[in-house]
Amino acid sequence: MTRGCNFSAGPAALPEEVLRQAQSELLEWGSARASVMEISHRSRAFMDLAEESEQDLRDLMSIPDNYRVLFLQGGATQHFAQIPMNLARPDQSADYIVTGAWGEKAVREGSPYVQARIAASSIDSHYTRIPARSAWDLDPDACYLHYTPNETIHGVEFQDVPEVGNVPLIADMSSDILSRPIDVSRFGLIYAGAQKNIGASGLVILIIRDDLLERCPDSMARIFSYAEHAAGRSLFNTPNTYGWYLASLVFKWLKAQGGVVAMGERNKSKAELLYSTIDQSDFYSNPVEASARSWMNVPFFLGRPELDAAFLAEADAAGLIGLKGHRVLGGMRASIYNAISLDQVRTLVDFMRDFASRHG
């Protein structure tokens, strides 16, 4: 068996250099004489790693000083509920922009803790576009506005940051964080599950503006309070130490690649190559409007769905794994996160052209 080109949507591919370093340090990390998984999270060695990894992320994203960076447990789904628990009262309303399955889930999980208003939705197009800004019904008194910049399942991505006035903007960036430069100061809170562009599942990165921490109610259990975790520098309880360690290696790798500017250029090239291959073919199709196509997750469909199983079997034999589409949509999906190289995308499109020539 050889290592395949992994186009899985998440947990997703990690940079091979990171995996090799983690492999070499698995038994003995630095001078600890033990694995990083075996030492106290309050040891000087781990606290040094925590501080350095936070600074690396701040450098990569140019995070302003008035934002806290938290390394938390759970996934985005947990924080769909935890965000309104921290930032809203049950009698307050929050606006949600829904452009896919994860936006829907954010509304559903947040509703017990806030009056969740769907201020705009593209469900009428089966989530193949971004709702026209003129159709957004925004509440200027909303306690926040939540949106999903990139929808992993439907392959829809905002190409800019929406302007929402003084209402704090909250973004679930699980599948596009660190994929290109963003202006963090435009947001009140950014959160992301780690298992796509950061590292291993079970870790969540959360970036929150200082003034929003003041909203966290004292009546809430401390373990759910972002203010408590910020005060404890994410060490209030035992964190996901190995996930944090892997994230620290990915941040170093990203810096070595040239940071998010270089990754943005690479990701744009990867997406353009894959979409042009689909668009130039009579055999493949992608339903998303061109202006809303994701750089990270590319769903596509064969002109003859009865060939789906053969496509996946032949792709697997060719070393291309993780291409099966989500059960909501079917078809195929290629997730081309930061760890996927342009050469790997070239390998994929070469296979797609060959398969089409033999079966089209």
Catalytic machinery residues: 102, 172, 196
Main-chain phi, psi angles of 38, to 5 degrees: -105, -5
Count of alpha carbons within 13 angstroms of residue 178, beta-carbon side: 31
CA distance 253 to 287: 34
Identify the CA nearest to 70 among candidates 279, 212, 221: 212
- The answer, yes or no, to whether the previous bond of 11 is cis (omega within 30 of 0) is yes
How many whole angstroms separate alpha carbon 9 and alpha carbon 6?
Answer: 9
Give the integer Cα–Cα distance in Å for 151 and 46. 34
Strand partners, 190: 171, 207
Give me the residue label for tokens 């963090």: 184
Q: Where are the beta strands (DSSP E) in 188-273?
A: 189-193, 203-209
- With beta carbons less than 8 A apart as the criterion, state whether 220 and 236 touch: no
Nearest to 167 by CA among 184, 183, 186: 186
Query: What's the distance, CA 165 to chain centroid?
Result: 25
CA–CA separation, 211 vs 308, rounded Å? 50
- CB contact set of 281 (below 8 Å; sequence gap of 6+): 352, 353, 356
